[in-house]
Amino acid sequence: MKRESAQTGMRLLWDLIPGWRSSSASAPSPRTPPRAEAKPERARRERSASEDRYERMARHMLREHGVRVRKWRSSSSGVAWQVRYADGSISRLIESPRPRGPVSAAIFLHEIGHHAIGFDRYKPRCLEEYHAWMYSLGQMERWDITITERVRDRVHDSLHYAVLKARRRGLKRLPHELEPYLRPRQRASAEKHPGCDSNAQPAD
């Protein structure tokens, strides 16, 4: 007990410095940085909402036109065809990448477009390709999907390919709608997209 009393009455060096204790007591404690929102989690939620929107669009378009997906392709290519049965019924089929972004959505809607506008309605086939692509772009606007430069590149490259193929097969008179696609699209990127022969029978 005596030793504790002696220690209690002891004055230390900093007790002799005027104002030391008051200034020390009032000094602000280090501020804890505000907790930032987890960016990966926010990005995941936004990505999930976008995927849901594309999925809803795909389901609606397939149902609206009575089309069935034979296979979701991993490549950026597609094909559309139909099968007529002896009883008069028709199966409408496509293969396409699953819509997850503007380019894959454009290709998917292009294949749907062949069924929407009707096969053999437009001649030559490169003109059918043109109208299927115009349908695709119109539906992208309907669903508020951004028509990016990559989408425009893909459309132009596909139609340029279709025009060249038609000319190789002896096309004499090019429909005026396809005249802008006689030449390759001028763009900064050197990336090329393969043509899309959407009426070809799929290979098994």
139 part of a folded domain: yes
182 part of a folded domain: no
- Dihedrals φ, ψ of 31, to 5°? -75, 135
CA gap 140, 137 in Å, rounded: 5
The pLDDT score that the predictor gives to residue 4 is 46
The pLDDT score that the predictor gives to residue 187 is 76
State how many domains the chain has: 1
Q: What ranges in the chain are assigned the alpha helix state H? A: 2-8, 20-26, 39-65, 102-117, 125-142, 149-168
Return all residues near 115 (Cβ < 8 A) that are at least 6 apart: 65, 66, 67, 80, 82, 92, 94
Over residues 34-64, the pLDDT tens digits come to 665 567 776 666 667 778 999 999 999 999 9
Q: Each residue of 13-39: b (16+ CB within 10 Å) or e?
A: eeeeeeeeeeeeeeeeeeeeeeeeeee
Residues of the chain predicted below pLDDT 50: 2-8, 14, 190-204
User: pTM for this structure?
Assistant: 0.71
87 part of a folded domain: yes
Q: Which domain holds residue 161?
A: 44-171
Tell me the torsion sign for CA atoms 114, 119, 122, 127: positive
The pLDDT score that the predictor gives to residue 5 is 44
The pLDDT score that the predictor gives to residue 51 is 87
The pLDDT score that the predictor gives to residue 196 is 45
